[in-house]
Amino acid sequence: MVTLTIEGRPVTVAEGTTILEAAKTVGVLIPHYCYHPGLPVAGVCRMCLVEVEKAPKLAPSCATTVAEGQVVHVHSDKSLDARKGVLEMLLINHPLDCPICDQSGECELQDYTYQEGREDSRYREPKRFNPAEDFGGDVIYVPNRCILCTRCVRFMDDVAHEPTLNVSERGDRALIGKFEGRDMTHPWAANVIDLCPVGALLSKDFLNKARAWELDRTSSICPNCTQGCNVIMETRENQIVRMRPRANENVNAFFMCDWGRLNYRWMNEKSRVEQPMVRTGNTGLTATTWEAAITAAARALNGKKVFVAASPMLSNESLFLLTQLMQGGSGAFRVAEGDEAPLPGVEDLALRRERAANVYGAETLGFRKTKDLLGGLGQGDVLVIAGEDLEGVDASAISRAGDVIVIGSVMPSGVDRASVILPIANFSEEEGTVTNLRGRVQRFTQARQAPGETRPSWLVLGDLLGAMGKQSNFFLPSEVFARLASSHKSFAGLSYDRIGFKGLPVVDAPQTGPKAPIAVGAA
Amino acid sequence: MGYPHLPHSRETTVLSKYFGDAEARTLDGWKKRGGYKALEKALGMPPADIVNVVKESGLRGRGGAGFPTGMKWSFMKPGDGKPHYLCCNADESEPGTFKDRELMRWTPHALVEGCAIGAYAIGAETAYIYIRGEFTEPLYWMEQAVKEAYAAGIIGKNAMGTGKRIDVHVHKGAGAYICGEETALMNSLEGRRGNPRIKPPFPAVSGVFGMPTTINNVETLIAAAPILLNGADWYKKMSLSNPKSTGTKLFSVCGNVQRPGTYEVVMGFPFKEFLYDLCGGPYHGRKFKAVIPGGASVPIQTMEEAEATLMDYEGFVAQGSMLGSGGVIVIDDAQPMVTVIARIARFFAHESCAQCTQCREGTAWTTKILERIRDGEGTMEDLDTLLDIAEQMTGKTICVLSDSCAVPVVSGIKKFRGEFEALIQGRRFHPVNAAVA
């Protein structure tokens, strides 16, 4: 361990730590552009220069390791003056087009300039101009805003292991270029958009959709595969407009794949079941109150053997409550599949073959993974369709069911004889936990308001169990989880508080305990 | 010697003795002139002894920084189990410098010999000669020499029959000034973009291909041979002023002088006599105005400073400049200083590798302001801005290219402010005499 002083605060960190990282541990943010903890150090922006006592020159804090007894000044006149100089130079050829720039409001060039830059520029010459370029994939490059921090180049080289970008030209003519015949269609390429500290690399999907300050941000988990990348769901007027990775060194480092990132529109689905409905005599399905619907469903279920066709998108909480409904029956789920696409620079990170959030949780809780979803439905069983749209499933098997209850957010296809419909929130509209393919239990929270009279799935199922006379009295998803933790050995000892927003593995996870933090960019 | 002129009697030709002597280029010719004797001697010595002799001789790096060569070699720890590399920096790109070009054109075998000695001394089996892309003729002669040396068994897996392996490879750069910076050179050699690396780690720890590496200038390596043959004392005695600067130094002289060329003098030679006697003084009817004594990146000297200078590492520093690479650019009174400085700045702006912000933006910005002043569009505030940008460009970047651009600007404004102000105030510069004598 090494002890030093940063901005008057004593800091003790491991040998080999950089000054920049050491400063973070005592709440001192040294302004920087090219440095990113998930990428190899470049040391080129020269923004993080700090004054180290007794050193002849200012030191780049991202590339300087701590030394015993060092005294570091981050906000001294000398360091401030250097940063002011860098900021002025970064802006001399910058178009200053914040009003039409997507990055505005979440731009580090903007932030630091407001924080400590000059209020005017002494630059009187014509500015350099280069036209914007489509880089392929989801990426657009606006060279005029580029500060050449090379984060994007290093990501493609050292993390994606697919050299695609480079610094072309020299001097102030330099700009980011693409290698001949390459483009940004690598399955993880869109991460460069998040890595870009300015508005030079933009998402085509998000282009001109919203201003950063109009967005509401919610901590969540990407539901689109079993990797369970930690994400921030960003909503504007109750619509998800963007998903971005949230750092978690045990799951996804700082990254998420393009497929997961862009596959959020299904959560904004407009065609929803918004009212509880009950089938009555000759009028068919009729909208009714929650109480009436729950009572009807409880009556249909009571004493019957139940078969649950569940969705692996459902939370651990809801799947657990579904198992309580079975009464000697069973449950099954199916999962959509696609090609696996790893990110080579990060250990154990990939877009997984199985494209659902909670396959591990569903299997742990006793649901059978199958291609023939309704195969286990016995003659006369009550069929509970939970979160499944039955798209592509042979609905003729449903005729075996004694009764059909739908608990879902959209109307499943091919179901014409459901007796009760209980509308539930989708993944983005409720709170809960999912378990990723390594057995890591991770919390997601509500990003959108659910439409109509829709209720969270755990609440609906809890009420239903209560109406069936089973022990149930849940007011919060954390209470459902507490019940799960006390009744299932895999979840023993876990709680929302303990899981936090970084997740914790189940007791019998394939790798017990959090695995070693991901080594990023080891090449 | 003052190639292409006949040697001047006051020169001391150790390295440049055979300039203009075409026979010295061939292996036979070189051997006839005593070539490869030093290598033979070296291969019979323990490497540490060679390092000690060079250390004792006081030889310092001739590329510009003047770091003691023996000490640099001693950083290479023998027996660390890693392959060591020697890189010869033949990417001579500093404006005004062409001494290495002449050395390679006329005495290519001297460099092969120097590389072999250096490689053996630092425990390397491989030496790379990185030649700048524009040096097509030196490249030709170096390739010939290496081929001849291999064929004669002087280098290769059994160098001079001693069983020691010394490979020498000639590598052609693609023509970038920055590739003369040692870490950029290593990147370029490895096939990467020639961007300087952050130090530490220093090359002696992690250099080319991540292995311990020593980088030496052409002139430095060539000087090692006569030192081994004649002894450290012989070399040390060649010093006319400061004992920390020993031996002879090649100076390439260009600009407004009667006899531009490459001259070899003993360290500490009076600069005034060098300029007026050896180089023949200014053109007829002109007067010297300024000198850039060590390549474009050292401070400009006024004639007052230059004439008081003794030509060694300390002597140039004492008179407001640096020895640098020994590329003497002489400027006479017909030249507008602003134009000269703007041209130098434009060179650096063109060659900046674009990594560091201050360099990428600062060199170009400086150039634009200087060219505006040159064209009569400047303001007095521009001078303050220039000095302020120069301050931002000094000591804050990975390598010293940005400092190199700032240096002539700062020294130019400081020493020739009148010319800047005259242009700004609308008084055009009038050459005293445009006719060349």
pLDDT of residue A523: 32
Closest CA to B329 of B404, B254, B261, B270: B254
Task: Band the pLDDT of A283: cuts 50, 70, 90.
Answer: confident
Which domain-ending residue is among A207, A239, A268? A268
Interface membership of B397 toward A (CB under 8 Å): yes
Asked if residue A414 has pLDDT above 90, the reply is no
Q: State the DSSP H helix or E strand holding residue B373, giving kind and residue range, or none if neither.
A: helix B357-374
- A361-365, A505-509, B83-87, B310-314: segment of lowest average pLDDT: A505-509
Residue A152 sits in the same domain as residue A209: yes
Q: How far apart are CA B257 and CA B254, in angstroms?
A: 7
Which residues in chain B touch residue A89, judged by CB atoms under 8 angstroms apart?
357-358, 360-362, 365, 392
Contact B392 A49 (CB under 8 A): no
Nearest to B361 among A56, A63, A93 (CB): A93
Contact A123 B365 (CB under 8 A): yes
Residue A264 sits in the same domain as residue A290: no
Nearest to B354 among A82, A89, A148 (CB): A148
Query: Which chain B residues in 309-338 lie under 8 Å from chain A, judged by CB atoms?
Result: none
- Whole-number Cα distances in Å, A471 to A62, A264, A466: 56, 36, 6
Interface membership of B354 toward A (CB under 8 Å): yes
Q: How far apart are CA B184 and CA B173, in angstroms?
A: 11
Give the closest-approach CA distance of A173 to chain B in angstroms: 8
Contact between B319 and B272 under an 8 Å Cβ cutoff? The reply is no
Nearest-Cα residue of chain B relative to residue A91: B361
Between helix A77-92 and helix B380-392 the angle, nearest 10°, is 110
pLDDT of residue B1: 52
For A18-73, what is each residue's pLDDT tens digit?
999 999 999 999 999 999 999 999 999 999 999 999 999 999 999 999 999 999 99
pLDDT of residue A394: 86
Closest CA to A69 of A3, A8, A15, A16: A3
Give the closest-approach CA distance of B219 to chain A in angstroms: 29
Q: What residues are paired with B266 via a beta bridge?
A: B248
- Whole-number Cα distances in Å, A387 to A222, A423, A501, B97: 17, 9, 25, 77
Which domain-ending residue is among A268, A295, A317? A268
Which residues in chain B touch residue A40, judged by CB atoms under 8 angstroms apart?
none
Residue A325 sits in the same domain as residue A256: no
Q: What residues are paired with B254 via a beta bridge?
A: B329
Contact B372 A93 (CB under 8 A): no
Task: Band the pLDDT of B434: cuts 50, 70, 90.
Answer: very low
- Return the residue in A124, A168, A173 with the most chain B beta carbons within 10 A, the one to mutate for interface testing: A124
Measure the CA dihedral B146/B148/B150/B153, to 10°. -140
Q: State the DSSP H helix or E strand holding residue B363, giving kind and residue range, or none if neither.
A: helix B357-374
Which residues make Cβ contacts (< 8 Å) with residue A240, sequence separation at least 6? A233, A234, A264, A265, A267, A268, A428, A447, A448
For range A309-334, the mean pLDDT: 95
Nearest-Cα residue of chain B relative to residue A58: B396
Task: Please give the distance of CA B74 from its chain centroid, rounded to a whole number.
Answer: 22
Asked if residue A238 has pLDDT above 90, the reply is yes
pLDDT of residue B345: 97
Closest CA to A112 of A136, A79, A68: A79
Which residues in chain A touch residue B405, judged by CB atoms under 8 angstroms apart?
none
Task: Please give the distance of CA B35 from its chain centroid, rounded to a whole number.
Answer: 24
Residue A136 sits in the same domain as residue A220: yes
Residue A259 sits in the same domain as residue A301: no
Q: Any idea how long chain A is?
A: 523
Asked if residue A517 has pLDDT above 90, the reply is no
Which residues in chain B touch residue A42, judged by CB atoms under 8 angstroms apart?
355
Contact between B100 and B92 under an 8 Å Cβ cutoff? The reply is yes
Asked if residue A211 has pLDDT above 50, the reply is yes
Give the closest-approach CA distance of A86 to chain B in angstroms: 6
Which residues in chain A touch residue B389, judged by CB atoms under 8 angstroms apart?
85
Residue A287 sits in the same domain as residue A213: no
pLDDT of residue B4: 79
**How many domains, in total, are found in chain A?**
3
- Tokens describing residue A80: 């401030």
pLDDT of residue B436: 39
Residue A159 lies in a domain: yes
pLDDT of residue B431: 53
Task: Please give the distance of CA A414 from its chain centroid, rounded to a whole number.
Answer: 33
Residue A310 sits in the same domain as residue A451: yes
Question: If you compute the radius of gyration of chain B from its CA atoms, what whole number of angstroms results?
Answer: 22
Which domain-ending residue is among A268, A300, A318? A268
Interface membership of B368 toward A (CB under 8 Å): yes
Contact B363 A171 (CB under 8 A): yes
Nearest to A92 among B198, B353, B365 (CB): B365
Nearest-Cα residue of chain A relative to residue B401: A171
pLDDT of residue A327: 86
Range of the domain at A167: 124-268
Residue A144 sits in the same domain as residue A250: yes
Closest CA to B342 of B247, B398, B413, B395: B413
**Phi and psi dihedrals of A285, rounded to 5?**
-70, 130
Residue A112 lies in a domain: no
Question: For residue A410, which amino acid is it?
Answer: V
Three-class secondary structure of residue B409 per DSSP:
helix
Nearest-Cα residue of chain A relative to residue B382: A122
For range B82-93, the mean pLDDT: 96
Which residues in chain B touch residue A48, judged by CB atoms under 8 angstroms apart?
none
Give the closest-approach CA distance of B364 to chain A in angstroms: 6
Contact B392 A47 (CB under 8 A): no
Q: How far apart are CA B376 and CA B182, in angstroms?
A: 39
Closest CA to B268 of B292, B291, B238: B238
Contact between B108 and B307 under an 8 Å Cβ cutoff? The reply is no
Residue A458 lies in a domain: yes
Average pLDDT, rounded, for chain A: 94
A:B CB pairs within 8 Å: 91
Give the closest-approach CA distance of A114 to chain B in angstroms: 19
Task: Band the pLDDT of A514: cuts 50, 70, 90.
Answer: very low
Nearest-Cα residue of chain B relative to residue A43: B198
Contact A60 B365 (CB under 8 A): no
Residue A230 sits in the same domain as residue A353: no
**CATH number of the domain within which A500 lies:** 3.40.50.740
Give the closest-approach CA distance of B199 to chain A in angstroms: 9
Which residues in chain A touch residue B385, judged by CB atoms under 8 angstroms apart?
122
For range A423-452, the mean pLDDT: 97
**CATH number of the domain within which A79 lies:** 3.10.20.740
Positive or negative torsion for Cα B321, B323, B328, B329: negative
Residue A109 lies in a domain: no
Task: Band the pLDDT of B332: cuts 50, 70, 90.
Answer: very high
Asked if residue B433 has pLDDT above 80, the reply is no
Q: Identify the contact set of chain A against chain B, taking CB-CB distances under 8 A.
A: 41-47, 49, 56-58, 60, 63, 82, 85-86, 89-90, 92-93, 122-125, 147-148, 150, 166-167, 169-174
Closest CA to B225 of B29, B34, B3: B34
Which residues in chain B touch residue A82, judged by CB atoms under 8 angstroms apart?
392, 396
Residue A19 sits in the same domain as residue A75: yes
Asked if residue A107 has pLDDT above 60, the reply is yes
Residue A335 sits in the same domain as residue A461: yes
Nearest-Cα residue of chain A relative to residue B392: A85
Residue A110 lies in a domain: no
Nearest to B198 among A63, A82, A148 (CB): A63
* Residue of A166 and A416 predicted with greater confidence: A166
Residue A135 lies in a domain: yes
pLDDT of residue A372: 94
Q: Any idea how long chain B is?
A: 437
For range A150-176, the mean pLDDT: 96
Give the closest-approach CA distance of B432 to chain A in angstroms: 32
Task: Band the pLDDT of B2: cuts 50, 70, 90.
Answer: low
- A274-283, A352-361, B23-32, B200-209: segment of lowest average pLDDT: A274-283
Which residues in chain A touch residue B354, judged by CB atoms under 8 angstroms apart?
148, 167, 169-174
Asked if residue B369 has pLDDT above 60, the reply is yes
Residue A79 sits in the same domain as residue A186: no
Residue A173 lies in a domain: yes
Which residues in chain A touch residue B383, judged by CB atoms under 8 angstroms apart?
none
Nearest to B398 among A43, A56, A82 (CB): A43
Nearest-Cα residue of chain A relative to residue B364: A172
Contact A41 B356 (CB under 8 A): no
Task: Band the pLDDT of A7: cuts 50, 70, 90.
Answer: very high
For A466-479, what is each residue's pLDDT tens digit?
999 998 889 999 99
**CATH number of the domain within which A154 lies:** 3.30.70.20
In chain B the domains, ranked by start, together with CATH numbers, are 22-237 (3.40.50.11540), 249-330 (3.10.20.600), 337-424 (1.20.1440.230)
Contact B398 A44 (CB under 8 A): yes
Give the closest-approach CA distance of B348 to chain A in angstroms: 8
Q: ipTM surpassing 0.90, yes or no?
A: yes
pLDDT of residue A256: 97
Closest CA to B11 of B201, B265, B195: B265
Residue A106 lies in a domain: no
Asked if residue B437 has pLDDT above 70, the reply is no
Q: How far apart are CA A363 and CA B257, in angstroms?
A: 88
Answer whether the bond into residue B4 is a cis peptide, omega within 30°. yes
pLDDT of residue A521: 39
Nearest to B349 among A43, A123, A172 (CB): A172
Nearest to A85 among B178, B358, B363 (CB): B358
